[in-house]
Every structure is written in structure tokens, then in C-alpha cells.
Amino acid sequence: MNVTRSTFNEVMVLNYQPADIVPVRGEGSRLWDQAGREYVDFAGGIAVTLLGHCHPKLVAALTEQAGKLWHLSNVMTNEPALRLAKKLVDATFADRVFFCNSGAEANEAAFKLARRYGNAIDPAKHEIIAFYNAFHGRTLFTVSVGGQAKYTQGFEPIPGGIRHLPFNDVAALEAAVSSNTCAIVLEPVQGEGGIMPASPAFMAAARRLADQHKALLIFDEVQTGVGRSGHLYAYQHYGVAPDVLTTAKGLGGGFPIGAMLATQAAADVLAFGTHGSTYGGNPLACAVAEAVIDTVNDPAVLAGVTHRAQLIRDGLDSIGRRYGVFAPSRGLGMLIGAPMSEAWKGRSKDIVNAGLAQGVWALVAGPDVLRLAPSLVISEADIAEGLRRLEVAIAQLVGAPKAAAA
């Protein structure tokens, strides 16, 4: 059957606007489209393909499991799920794991857990403290916690009992948390909100206030997790452990899987029958995710994340100085944002489109920030080539460099 980009407009729900090209093959940090054209992938499927496309260890794990067992449901458990859960518990603060299929589902589970946790103490203890410009998923509950009006408009009435505060504002947080707070929910780095890292003081205050008011501290590490920060999870960078952590995206390296990690005390409130997922803990997904964890949770790989991130940020900053399009880059590890300069506010998508035309795939984090979330093991040669293509694209948009690179 011959299908093209135009087929999308004929048969798909039009809630997406995909690029004009249709990729058909990937290897490492390169992609090829239907016409055979090659691209350097700086997008990583939105921070998902963290070991690149078709990594041999992930392909082997999936192929082996595909010949054994595909699905059981949670009427029974399975060996890949148990092995993966054990490795996640051993490597993190967590005592318990709940598997699902996506970041939104992991956050939905975490927010339900928070409400049930608070209700067990006092029915009035139901308020969730969250932050403006956060992103936690696309279910009605998760977009409501997310704090971006553009995602809830037209879907009212939205769930109540959620209070939004400015991110990184310790004073606002101290004034808001009370005995009615069941949870404080935050991303260590706001992804969709512009690649904004939390300050160490803000993270420490969130932990202190959660303890003081007997609330749960929930970290959404859907985008920052599984090595992207240079640690297995970003909370380890800050030295502040949550009570509940959500993870997905890179956990499966491209195979759909999500998980909620929790302390024993938090997990205890989700007793038998209180939550579930038909596909959660699927043997195929867990076998692949186990291979991801085995590969990523290695000191050499994690050190490589920090090194590669610096190469990319140095390159972006150099381009920014030469052409006047970027302010200094920011982020944590291989979750990198290049804010648009004042003259280029609102034009991040223009740079993405120009880059695509030159064979490099990047992302936006809103209209004012270019976002890069490539493979954690992208080669230095691919980094250099991707940056070269990006600079060609920007030169075509801007013209001559504004100044020599420092």
C-alpha cells in the first residue's frame, strides 16, 4: 500500500500537524525518509530514543522476548516486569513500582495516589500544589495539574483542588503549602515550559515543606529521567529524593512504557483494586526497558552525557553569538534549550523548519525556545554535523554572521 504525508490528512484525526516528510528507517542518530534523504536526529522522539534508533541491545531484547511471551495482563505477573522493577528499586529511592504505558498514565497514577494518600489522613487534605508552565500529560487530570491554559481551554470544567504557583519561587511555595496539601508536584526541569531547571533552593524547599505538612513530594521525571540529566534520575543531581517519581519516554528507548516509583509509605495507599492498567508491565515493554536500564545505568555512559551536552551547548552558544538568534543555552544534561534572542522571540518553529530542510531535526519548547533532546550516546561526529547543518539553516534565515564567534 502506497502511503504519503497526504494520507495523514485523509485518515487521521487532525490533532497533530506532522512534518511534511515521512521517516521510514533509523540507525543511531540518523534517520531516512521515503525519498532516501538522511537527517541528523537532535529530537530523539521528544526525549524518547535515548540510545538512538534500533540500538542492537534493544533490538535483541525485543526479538528474544517476542519469541517467548507477549501479553498476560496483571492477572499474572511476568519475569521481565519483575526484573525491571527490581533494578529500578535497587537504583533509586523507591521501594515499589507500578507499570503503565506512558508518562501521562504514570502521572495519572501518581496524582490519584496523592489524593488517596491525603484522604486517608483527612478528607480536607486534597489540594495539589503545581506550577505554571508545567506539563504532565494530556489526560484531563494531568493537563489540569499542568498549569498551561492552552491545554485545558475547551475541556472545562476541569478537576478542582489544584493550585498553581510560579516555578522556582520559594516564597510563593512557603505561603501556599498547608495542612490541606496532599502533594507538591514538579518537574526538575520544566520541559514544555522552556527547559527551565529548578533551582537547588527550590527543590530543597519543596522537600522541607512536604515533610512539614505531611504531603507527598512528586517529581515528574518523564522527560528528565533515565540518564538524560547525567544521572539515572535528575533528583540525584539535586540530592533531593521525592516520595513518588514518574518515568516514561526514555525508559523504553522508543517502546511504550511508563512507571511510577514510590516509597513504601506512599505506595501502601494503592491497595488491591484501587488502580490498574491492562497493558502495564507488558513483557515486551519490560524486556526492552530492562535493556535500556542495563545500558544507561553505567558510569561511563552517564559521564558521556555530561560531555556530549557540553559540546552541544558550546556549539549552540557559538551559533547564537555569530548570528544573534539565541540567548545563552540552558538545561540539564542532554535536555537542552536555546532561548530565542529578543529579535527572534516567537520564531523557534522557523528555526526547526529551516533545520529540517537542511537535514537536522530539532524541537521547540514553546515559541521562544529551541529544544534538543538527542540520543545520550550520539557520536561526536553526529553532534558536529548536526550543528553544522543547523548553522547553515540559520545562516539562510539570517544572512551574514553578526560577529565572529568567541
State mean pLDDT over 101-119: 97
- 97, 266 in Cβ contact below 8 A? no
- Residues with Cβ < 8 Å from 272, sequence gap 6 or more? none
- 261, 92 in Cβ contact below 8 A? yes
Can you tell me the distance from the alpha carbon of 263 to that of 114, in angstroms, rounded to the nearest whole number? 12
> What is the H or E stretch that residue 385 is in?
helix 380-398
Which segments within 169-306 are labelled E, that is strand? 181-186, 189-190, 196-197, 216-220, 244-247, 258-262
157 to 107, 108, 152, 153, 183: CA distances (angstroms) = 20, 18, 9, 9, 22
Question: What percent of the chain is modeled with pLDDT above 90?
Answer: 95
The residue assigned the cell 521515503 is: 34
**For 259, phi and psi rounded to 5 degrees?**
-155, 150
Threshold 0.85, pTM exceeds: yes
pLDDT-derived band at 243 (thresholds 50, 70, 90) equals: very high
Beta strands 330-332; 335-339: pairing state: antiparallel
What is the chain's mean pLDDT, rounded?
Answer: 96
Which segments within 271-406 are labelled E, that is strand? 330-332, 335-339, 360-361, 363-364, 369-372
Q: For 317-350, write each residue's pLDDT tens digit.
A: 999 999 999 999 999 999 999 999 999 999 999 9
Give the pLDDT confidence score for residue 147 in this predicted structure: 86
Give the pLDDT confidence score for residue 59 in this predicted structure: 98
Q: Which three three-digit cell numbers place residue 244?
A: 513518588
pLDDT at residue 405 tops 60? no
pLDDT at residue 403 tops 60? no
- 346, 304 in Cβ contact below 8 A? no
Nearest to 364 by CA among 388, 341, 336, 389: 336
Q: Which three three-digit cell numbers place residue 196?
A: 527551565
The residue assigned the cell 484522604 is: 119
Measured over all CA atoms, what is the biggest interatomic distance in the chain, rounded to whole angstroms? 65
pLDDT at residue 406 tops 50? no
**3-state SS assignment for residue 235:** helix
Q: For 6-18, write each residue's pLDDT tens digit.
A: 999 999 999 999 9
Beta strands 216-220; 181-186: pairing state: parallel
The residue assigned the cell 510563593 is: 172
Can you tell me the distance from the alpha carbon of 368 to that of 330, in angstroms, rounded to the nearest whole number? 13
Count H helices and E strands in the chain, helices first. 14, 17
Give the pLDDT confidence score for residue 6 in this predicted structure: 94
